Structure 1
């Protein structure tokens, strides 16, 4: 049985349409066709009144339904994807990532088919010594359910539920299990609407940081042995209706902690067809007071430079990757720098489209893409704040990822 406000993601769900009820209407992302004079933001996070009205969001608050099943009414479209993600850094150095998704490849591969419409789960537990333990599985739609009113998504024996304040991630597969509770220490965050529309189309990518930083506790089980877990955690939510290779050149994303400060840095670089636009985010929260110290997605205030090229540890990866990202913020008298540098602890690396279909081969050739890679590392973090809200500096730990759509398109050394 499904809870009130929940729906099962069966193939005919999209036939219900977004007009059936208020809850249904807000579950989807409204997509009127904009023009350049409509006041909409193109190739960047929405920030105008027209942008907020377009997607039915409040500029001053995040509501629980925003973390619900946002693509419920368009789920039958094989190009649509959605995932709920959380990662945890244990006090003992253990790292856990926990993801429930609606597509096999999370939008990383072009020309998805109906056969790729598979819900799934990914759980990765990385021991302090770097040893990885994984559960990566797909399921049938009969094994999936999700609410449109809040985050309450289930696939097989795994469940991800919460209300913007407290979340639970639970599930067991063989000798691996997680039973974790994440309690938010700060407010949710989205950059503007959190939705990036491409040009004057209805194609979009959306991101919500439901828990930018939280306290984590519970248990994890590896090789059948249960152990207590305490540490820090994070949860975000992504969804969209166009595959990343169609519009993204590459992105960098990292999060971490420096003393009482929780930090997030993102740098998304779009393809030339979309003005080679740069979509950055820099977020700094005080986890002791709950105050938001810095929250910017301004392309005028933020720069991001990548450097420190290193050989990738996977021999299949033919190019150097950039192991360091420096975010710099400057707005009047307020300044900040955030530096994230990969350590030798690789959390995950995945190569996509290793056996392309004829349609995928044609699309990749048209886009000039040779390979698609995603890499995430444990990282060292350095923060320097000099703003009216806080003056502080220090070092800490976090994770840093690199998603690259065409290895020859790496940025020049910073």
Structure 2
């Protein structure tokens, strides 16, 4: 028996009630949307492919989103993969008194670390356990959101999952340093988004694939979210395709999704697609976006982030959430009718987040 299906807030009354402009994203939307109190979560995310071959992820969080009952417990996650493949994955927790965040725009401070910007230019600085980064991100594709960027689950609008891609694609200038090695300064391409909500994500969403990348003149953000069983396993597609900085396609209802080459991951035990494919049709035009896995950047059981009684309770409850991050090739293909118009390929990063029980028998074309 289900409570109701989930839905994206995209109706006129949704925009009106939230005070959101359908035609433009405002700076306050990237500001603090929660106060960090129990029952809420929020994070600001950045990733980049750097020109020297390094890959970088920085996330500022109000708390570990797998346990939102806790009060404000600010965290920073930093993942740096060097050009030679050496990975440095760091997580640090800070006292609540070391956290500040503006509600008027993105200006987040955790201790001496900062994540701030104005929907166009961002500065991110962090240093964890001997790994330091100093990043400037300048947007090339304007801020965007699917509908209001708010998904509601169940009757009414009480359970919320919200998302804002403030910089779908931007130019990066980054300096990073590991230990006593010489600092490295390089350019690259990056992305920033912002998530928040007021209900445990694992009670709303079973799993999602999320990806972003650039190939030739194209920028892609693509996600396939599958709601929990109580919300009828509702598929919640997200799709943005821009070309030369101009949005070409962003109507999730026109997207079909399929998984190919599914295998069982040895670390997490989760079924993982070797290829995830999004196909967007608009009249005679078809855009096919494929992410082809080459290797893992991360594979972890979420229970390993818990400790003490919480970890024991999660184990007794059978919680088996997992997080996997991949790197590989993004392919974008545009056809008009049967005629190939153009095709481009480039490296990309994407993820699979499992929050609910594993669907052991994936259905091709659904991602479930």
TM over 0.5: yes
Distance in 1, Cα, partners of 2:310 & 2:175: 45
Q: CA deviation at 1:362?
A: 8.1
Map residues 95-110 of structure 1 onto 2, 5 A cutoff: 95-103=55-63, 105-106=64-65, 108-109=66-67
Q: C-alpha distance in 2, partners of 1:358/1:88?
A: 33
Give 1:86's match in structure 2, choosing from 27, 46, 57.
46
User: Are 1:206 and 2:177 matched, yes or no?
Assistant: no
Q: If each structure's strand is expressed as a fraction of its own residues, which one has the higher value?
A: 2
CA RMSD of aligned residues (A): 2.5
> Do the aligned partners of residues 67 and 291 (structure 1) sit closer, same or farther apart at CA in structure 2, a change above 3 Å counting?
same
Alignment partners' CA distance in 1, 2:57 and 2:249: 26
Does 2:175 correspond to 1:219? yes
Q: Deviations over 1:139-187 (max 9, x none)?
A: 0111111111100001012100000010001122342111110000011
Alignment of 1:264-283 (within 5 A): 264-283=221-240
Tell me: CA distance 1:260–1:313, structure 2 relative to 1, closer, same or farther (3 Å).
Answer: farther
Q: Which runs of 5+ in 1 are unaligned?
A: 1-40
Q: Is the 8 A contact 1:123 1:136 kept in 2?
A: yes
Match of 2:216 in 1: 259
> Which whole-Å CA distance do the structure 2 matches of 1:378 and 1:295 have between them?
24
Relative to structure 1, the CA distance from residue 221 to residue 329 in structure 2 (aligned partners, 3 Å threshold; closer, same or farther) is: same
Match of 1:352 among 271, 285, 302: 302
Give the Cα–Cα distance (whole angstroms) in 2 for the partners of residues 413 and 397 of structure 1.
Answer: 27
SS at match of 2:297: strand
> Corresponding residue for 1:307?
260
Residue 168 of structure 1 contacts residue 182 of structure 1 at CA under 8 Å; is this kept in 2? yes
Which residue number in structure 2 is paired with residue 376 of structure 1? 325
Q: Distance in 2 between matches of 1:364 and 1:339?
A: 38
3-state DSSP of counterpart to 1:50 = helix
TM-score (norm 2): 0.90
Counterpart in the other structure of 1:176: 131
Distance 2:189 2:361 in 1: 32
- Residues 100, 121 of structure 1: 8 Å contact kept: yes
Conserved 8 A contact 1:69-1:147: yes
Q: What's the counterpart of residue 324 of structure 1?
A: 275
The superposition leaves residues 11-45 of structure 1 with CA deviations (integer Å, 9 ceiling, x where unpaired) of xxxxxxxxxxxxxxxxxxxxxxxxxxxxxx96121
CA distance, structure 2, for counterparts of residue 356 and residue 173 of structure 1:
24
Which of the residues 42, 45, 64 maps onto 2:8? 45
Structure 1 residue 350: Cα displacement:
2.5
Determine which of 287, 290, 296 is the counterpart of 1:336. Answer: 287
**Superposed, which structure 2 residues align to 1:93-132 within 5 Å?**
93-103=53-63, 105-106=64-65, 108-109=66-67, 112-114=68-70, 117-132=72-87
- Greater CA deviation, 85-94 or 331-340? 331-340
How far off its partner does 1:99 sit? 0.5
Matched, 1:398 2:361: no
- Alignment match, 1:196: 151
SS in 2 for 1:348: strand
Is 1:135 the counterpart of 2:90 in the alignment? Answer: yes
Residues paired across the two proteins, number: 356
Partner SS state of residue 154, structure 2: coil
* C-alpha separation in 1, matches of 2:94 and 2:106: 19
State the distance in 2 between where 1:361 and 1:387 align.
Answer: 54
Which deviations, in whole Å up to 9, do the C-alpha atoms of 1:230-276 show, x marking residues without a partner?
11000000000111211211100011111121111100001221122
1:71 aligns with 2:28: no
Q: What 5-or-longer segments of structure 2 have no aligned partner? A: none
